[in-house]
Each structure stands twice: as structure tokens, then as C-alpha cells.
Structure 1
Amino acid sequence: MNKPTLSLWLGGVLFALVHAPAYAEAWTLAQTLTAARDYSAELSASRNEAKALESMADSARELPDPKLKFGIENVPVQGNNDARFTREGMTMQKIGIMQRYVSEEKRDRKAQTLQAQSQSVNAQAQTLLANLQRDTAQAWLDLALSEQALKAARTLVNETERQLGVQKASVGAGSSTADSVLTLRVGLIAMRDKVTVAERDVRLAQARLLQLTGEQVSGVSGAMPTWQRLPADEASLNEGIALHPEVIAAARQANTAKARSSESAIAAIPDVDVEVYYAHRSEDYDDMAGVMFTVDLPLFQSKRQDKDHAADVSRTLQANDQLALTTRAHAAQLSTLIAEYQAAQTLWLRQRDDVLPLQQQRVKLLNAQYRAGQSELTALLAARRDLLDTTLAANLAAKTVARNWAAIHFLIPQETAQ
């Protein structure tokens, strides 16, 4: 191996050693939420849109740029002086500056409309953030609970695998029939299938977190959130409906419509163009200068500006109605989520506190009876399979509770650690 190749190989090994722990690192929920927020292209696009509207609002308060006007006027096109620039006294080389004056009130109201639009975009960004935090928390909790299910399934399978060696010895000693080993192997295959499903759930949760954060989250660390109970009492949750980002976004939309209506209310105030020019004529004629004014004439205000304002007023009323509908929809959504959470919590507690302990006692009892020769191997295997099924069912119920908890907790965006 030549020196350049060796150097490259050593560099690759060092790179792998340095970066390998990062890929294997477990993530806390706060770290995962922060990574998802920083990775989101939707949030970045929303922030940039809000900044653009703020810049436009600042620009809207300024007068339009002045215009430079220049050219040649009154060039003859007929007669003896056709196409001549110096024979006709009216022919002029003209240059001037024109400035449009828009009333300060109109400019301020346009800026207020753009600021309202910026606030609306920021409110919509909070909706995106809340949904992102909900999805990320659900994926993180799925991974945490899937790891627990996988660990429990592997423990039960390992216990059954150890039974295989004992069973073979029993067959050799003549205390068990030969088909008992086959029965045990068939049971092990069924239990290993459950382990495979649990492994799949872990990988699916990891893939979902990769999609949300752009990072390889191989496992979870840190304290679990208290998903076993509601984030707050029902009264507090209902009081917080006004703080939900979609409700705030609907309120911002209503404010935008109101600002636009205020802007169109003074649309009939005329704009004024002022032009100052200097005109140079041929040497035989005197130069000229002048000032010109151009004023808008809203002669048909009732058919134009008033109609536009009436349309904006109707849109404002529509936005207010949409705000009321959004508030009512969130109240119904919260009631639904709470009902789903409470039902899932009841089912999970029944599995954890009632069914699972009974299944564990049954396995212990049958295991003791089997060792004493008072029970068949098939009964013990069936009990272990039932225990595994119950363990996975309890874990699935826990995931449902955790998902509903995240959906309630992240209806409003939460602050995350930096």
C-alpha cells in the first residue's frame, strides 16, 4: 500500500471513529423537537415570507420613485421642414422630472395591511410548528414504547429458548416424548414472529424521525413525558382554545381583511403627479420651462371605489365568521381528543393492571406445574404466547394513549430547549 492510499485509508477510519458515536447517540425529546424545528423547510419558508411582508410594509410608507422624462416634442412630419429638428419653433428637446405624491394616510394604511399579512403568516407558522411538534413527539414516543415492547418480547423468547435445551435433555432421559421438542420449536417460531414485528415498529419510528429531523435517531434517552395523564385539567384545556395557533391565525386573517377594508375606504383620495421640465429649442428660439400637474378624478366613486370598499367589508365579515367557525371547530376537536384519550387510557390501564398480571401469574403457575410433572408443555407454551400477545397488546394500547396525549399537549406550540 503506497503512502497516499494509506493516508486516505487512515483518514477514513478516523472519520468513521469520530462520527460513529453521533449516529448511535440516543436523543431526548427536547433535542428531537429542536432538530425537527430547525430542519423544517416549511417553517423556514414561512419565516422568510413574513420578513418579506415586513420589508414591503416599510417600503409602502415611502413615496414612489421619481421618474426622469426626456425626448423630443413637436417634430414636423410634413411640409418643407419635414423631419427637421431646427426649422420649426415648436420643436423642443425636453427633459424633466416627474414625482407622484400619494397621501401619507393612504401609504400608512397600505403598510398596515402588509403588516397584518405578516402577522397572519407568523400565526400560520405557529400552526405549522404545533403540528410539527405533535408529529415529532408522537414518533419519539412510538420509538420509546416500541423499544420497550421489543425488549419484553426478546426476554420472553430467550426464556423459551432456554427451555429448548432442558426439553432435549428430558427427551434423552426418557421423561418427555420426542415430539415435545418439535412442539417447542413451533412455539418459538411463532414467538420470534412477534419479535420481528416489534423490530419493524422500532425501525418505522426511526424512519419517521429521520424524515422529521434529518437525523439518525437510533434510540431515546432522558425522562419520558407524563403521557399517562392529561397535560392539564379539562377546564384549563378549554380555556386555552383561544391560544390555539389556528384560532390565532383566523383572528389574524380577520385583522388583515379589516386592514384591507380600511385601505380601500380612502382609495378615492386622488394621487397627484408633479412634473417639472426644461425644453431646449433651436438657436433662433427661446428655451422654455414648465410645471405640469396630473390629478386623479374619481368622478364615478359610487361605481368603482365604493364597490371595492363594499367588497372588502364583506370579506371582513366573512373572516369574522371564519374565526367563529374555527373556534367552534377547535372546541369540538378538543372534546373529541379528550374522549379518545380517556377511552384509550382506560383500555391501557385494564391491560396493564388486570390482564397482564393475570397472564404472568398463569405462566408462573404452569411453569411450576410443568416442572413438577403436573402440566403439559403445550399448555406452558400457550401461556407464554398469550403473555407475549398481552404484553404487545398493552404496549399498543400505551402507544395509543401517548399519541393522543401528544395531540392534546401540542395543540399549542411548546418552548423547547436550545
Structure 2
Amino acid sequence: MSLSYCVQTHARAARLRPWRKTALAFALALPLLAAAAPHPLTFNEALRQAVARSRQLPAQDQAVTAAQQMAIAVGQRPDPVLKAGIDNLPLSGHDRFNLNSDAMTMRRIGIAQELTSTNKLHWRAVRQEREAGKAQAQKQVALAAIERETAIAWLNVYYNRKVATVLAKQLELSRQEIDAAEAAYRGGRGSQADLLAARAALFVLEDRGSQSRRDLDVAANALARWTGYESELAESDLPDLDNIGLDPAILDAQSARRPQIAVLVRQEEAAQADVHLAQANRHADWSVEVAFQQRGSAYGNMLSVGLSLPLQWDRPQRQDRDLAAKLALAEQAKDEREEAMRDDAATTHALLIAWKNGRERTERYTRQLLPVLEQRSEAALAAYRGGKGTLADVLAARRGTMDARIELVRLQMDTAQRWAQLRFLFPDTQQDLEHPQ
């Protein structure tokens, strides 16, 4: 082996050594990069992440806790009142400010207690318990809204990506058509009008592609708002969009159990508790007081006992009007609940109609319209290749097919949104509702 060969071999090895180190480092880093890369986000995982990330649900838990604690507090009698004072202290004469010289001067200490009726205490506690129930119902409203908005955001990303895929394929075809038109024009087999039409179609597609990217970015941003980060979707995880989890035959009865209606029911119950409390307030509470009175050493000490009772001398203008106001508010809560139930039932039926109609139209697009448009495009292309048609006819046929495909995807997205609104009228019972305090 020659010396020059050894030198060249050593030089090549020296040059390759840094690259080998880089390759080795990259190979070692691959598992870490794979672990750090976000995995595709499934539909159910998006719902779980949104629920776990929400701070509105723990806030409602705190509201429930606060109302429950208050229910215990208001159910107790008022604290006793400690009283102390000096009675009949002389202000003039040679005994002024003397605590021991006058028989009527007394040092007094006593305690007073308001004897609140058990009926009032009961309804005060019940009123706060109704507030706790209302807060719990509001938590269910928040949970259903979180799941519904997350589902819609996930579906919007899914279908906007399908729109982008359709446009990307059409852009590729459009560029191929421009190449073909340019070749035909140079060869004298095509016209300049065909070439310009192909270029114009490309510009239109690029503009629609820009709009599609905007819509996709907006949808991804909405999904990130609920789940916390942007991620690729697990597109094979599309939920069962043919099942809304509701029986249309008993839809009105199911709507009566909606979380929004439950909030109004709890609000009506709270108003009824206010009525009972106002009725109890028409009866005044007694107060009892016991006091020990100490006089000078030459005189005996005394004990005083007293009762106090507020005089409801103007009950028709105060207590009765307060009761009338609470009765009116209870009727208002009842009427609002009934009106909300009617409105909710009408809205739900409208969503159901739109969902069913979307499914019918999707079926029509898939089985009838798109196959016909595909055949039209193939016929126009065959005619153009055979010299019996124009490139404009081909472009128009393909544009019609593309428009129909995009309209189908948008129709599927709209139908999926209606599905999500129906599917999450109630919160998903499979979700974990417990949150750390």
C-alpha cells in the first residue's frame, strides 16, 4: 500500500468524522423528537382536554360551595349581644359622677338574644340551597357549552382541511392544463384565448386557496382556544354523525331536562323560597334580655329581665307589599321558564330539521350530482382531446365539479355543526366532571 493512498484515506476519514458524529446525534435525538411531537388530536381527546383545561367549571364549583356554606350560616340564630353601661349617674351636686353615693346609680351588664323563628331560619337556608342548585345547573350549562364549542371547532378544522385538499388537487390540475394550453398554442393547435382562460382559472383557484387557508387558520385558532394548542387531527376518528343521542319522538320531554331549563327551574324555586320567607317575615321576632345591675355598697344589687317585639304598625304598606313583590317575582320566574321551554323546543326542532335536511342533501350530492358532473368533465376532456371541444369547456366542467365538491364539504361541515349542537344539548355523561379546587 502506497504512502499517498494512506494519506488520502486518512484525510477522507477525517472529513467524514464530523458528519458521522452529527448523524449519530441525530439518530439519538429522533426518539426525543418523536416524543415531543404532538400526537394527532382525536375528537374525544379534544373534548377531554377542553373540559380539563376549563376554569369556568372550577369557578362554578366554588359558587356551589359558597352557596352551601351560606345556607348553613343563614340557618343559625343571630349572635347574642353583650350590653354594658351605667344607669342614673348624677351630673350635678356634691355627688356628681359618683358611682356609689346615689341609690339609683347602677353599673349594668347584660346579654340580649333575638329569638328568630325556626320557620324564618328554615327558609333562609332553603333560599341559599336553591342558589347552590342553580350554580350546579349552571355548571352543567357551562360543561355542555364547552363540549359543544370544542366539537364544532374540531369539525370545522376537519372539513376546512378537506376543502383545502380539494383545492390543492384542482390547483395541480390547473397548472397541468396551463402547460397543455401553452404547448398547444406553441404548436398551433390551440388559441391564445384558451391559454388566457387557463391562467385566469389558476388565479381564481389561488385566490380561493388563500381564502381556504384563512378559514382553516381561524378554525384551528378556535380549536386551540379550547384545547390549549394546535395539533394535527386524527382524521380517522370522525364521530358518528348519524346519531345525535336524542329520540325525536320524545324531544320535547328531553328538552325540559336541558341544563338551561334546569337553571330556570332552580331560579323559580329560589323565587318560591323568597315568597315563603316573606310570609314568615310578616310575623315579628321577639328578643329577650337579661341584665345584672350593681349599685353602691350601701344598696342592694338588682336583676332586670326584658322582652322586645317590633311593632309592625304599617304591615299593609311594608310586610304585605314585600310579600306581593316576591309573589310577582315568583310568577315572573315561572313565566320565563315556560317561555324558555317553548323557545328551546322550537330551536331544537329547527336544528333537527336542518340536520336531517343536510343528511339528505349530502346523500343527493354524493350519489347523484357528483357522478354526473364527473362524467361531464370526462366527456368534455375527451371531446377536447378529439378536437371536438374547447379547453374552455373542459375548464368549465372541471370548475363545476370542483364547486360541487367544495359545496359538498361545506354542506357536510354545516350538517356536522348541527349534529354537534344537538349531540351536546346535554353534557356528555362520560366526561369526568370533577375538578381540583
State whether TM-score is above 0.5.
yes
For 1:330, give the aligned amino acid: D
TM alignment of 1:291-306, pairs within 5 A: 291-298=305-312, 300-306=314-320
For 2:349, give the aligned amino acid: S
Distance 2:317 2:116 in 1: 22
Structure 1 counterpart SS, 2:37: helix
Alignment partner, residue 60 of structure 2: 46
Q: Choose from 99, 110, 113 the match for 1:96.
A: 110
Contact 1:33 1:416 in 2 (8 A): no
Alignment partner, residue 37 of structure 2: 21
Contact 1:334 1:408 in 2 (8 A): yes
Contact 1:30 1:416 in 2 (8 A): no
- TM-superposed CA distance for 1:146, in Å, is 0.8
Alignment partner, residue 370 of structure 1: 384
TM alignment of 1:205-216, pairs within 5 A: 205-216=219-230
Alignment partner, residue 117 of structure 1: 131
TM alignment of 1:203-282, pairs within 5 A: 203-221=217-235, 223-228=237-242, 231-282=245-296
- TM-superposed CA distance for 1:416, in Å, is 4.3
- TM-superposed CA distance for 1:130, in Å, is 2.7
Which whole-Å deviations, capped at 9, do the CAs of 1:12-69 have from their partners, x for residues lacking one? x99x9599523xx432222222333344444443332222111111112222222333
Distance 1:250 1:386 in 2: 50
For 1:224, give the aligned amino acid: L
TM alignment of 1:58-97, pairs within 5 A: 58-97=72-111
Distance 1:382 1:277 in 2: 102
Contact 1:231 1:405 in 2 (8 A): no
Structure 2 counterpart SS, 1:100: strand
Distance 2:282 2:183 in 1: 101
TM alignment of 1:169-188, pairs within 5 A: 169-170=183-184, 175-176=189-190, 180-188=194-202
Q: Choose from 119, 123, 133 the match for 2:147.
A: 133
- TM-superposed CA distance for 1:131, in Å, is 3.1
CA distance change for structure 1 residues 344 and 221 in 2, over 3 Å: closer, same or farther? Answer: closer
Distance 2:283 2:429 in 1: 47
Task: Compare 280-289 and 44-53 and name the one that shifted more.
Answer: 280-289
CA distance change for structure 1 residues 128 and 174 in 2, over 3 Å: closer, same or farther? Answer: same
Which whole-Å deviations, capped at 9, do the CAs of 1:88-117 have from their partners, x for residues lacking one? 444444333333222223211211111112
Distance 1:221 1:88 in 2: 97
Q: How many residues align?
A: 403
Unaligned runs of 5+ residues in structure 1 are: 1-12
Q: Choose from 315, 319, 326 the match for 2:333.
A: 319
Within the alignment, does 1:395 sit opposite 2:406 as a pair?
no
Contact 1:277 1:291 in 2 (8 A): yes
Task: Compare 312-321 and 51-60 and name the one that shifted more.
Answer: 312-321
Distance 1:151 1:258 in 2: 58
Structure 1 counterpart SS, 2:237: coil
Unaligned runs of 5+ residues in structure 2 are: 1-28, 433-437
The structure having more radius of gyration, on CA atoms, is 2
For 2:347, give the aligned amino acid: Q
Alignment partner, residue 357 of structure 2: 343
TM alignment of 1:129-208, pairs within 5 A: 129-170=143-184, 175-176=189-190, 180-208=194-222
* Alignment RMSD: 3.1
Contact 1:39 1:214 in 2 (8 A): yes
CA distance change for structure 1 residues 44 and 230 in 2, over 3 Å: closer, same or farther? Answer: closer
For 1:251, give the aligned amino acid: V
Q: Choose from 330, 336, 342 the match for 1:328.
A: 342
Distance 2:47 2:92 in 1: 79
Distance 1:155 1:371 in 2: 21
Contact 1:30 1:417 in 2 (8 A): no
- TM-superposed CA distance for 1:242, in Å, is 1.6
For 2:291, give the aligned amino acid: Y
Distance 2:164 2:141 in 1: 34
- TM-superposed CA distance for 1:240, in Å, is 1.0
Distance 1:221 1:319 in 2: 46
Distance 1:235 1:310 in 2: 41
Structure 2 counterpart SS, 1:219: coil
Distance 1:281 1:34 in 2: 75
For 1:31, give the aligned amino acid: E
Distance 1:255 1:140 in 2: 38
Contact 1:34 1:416 in 2 (8 A): no
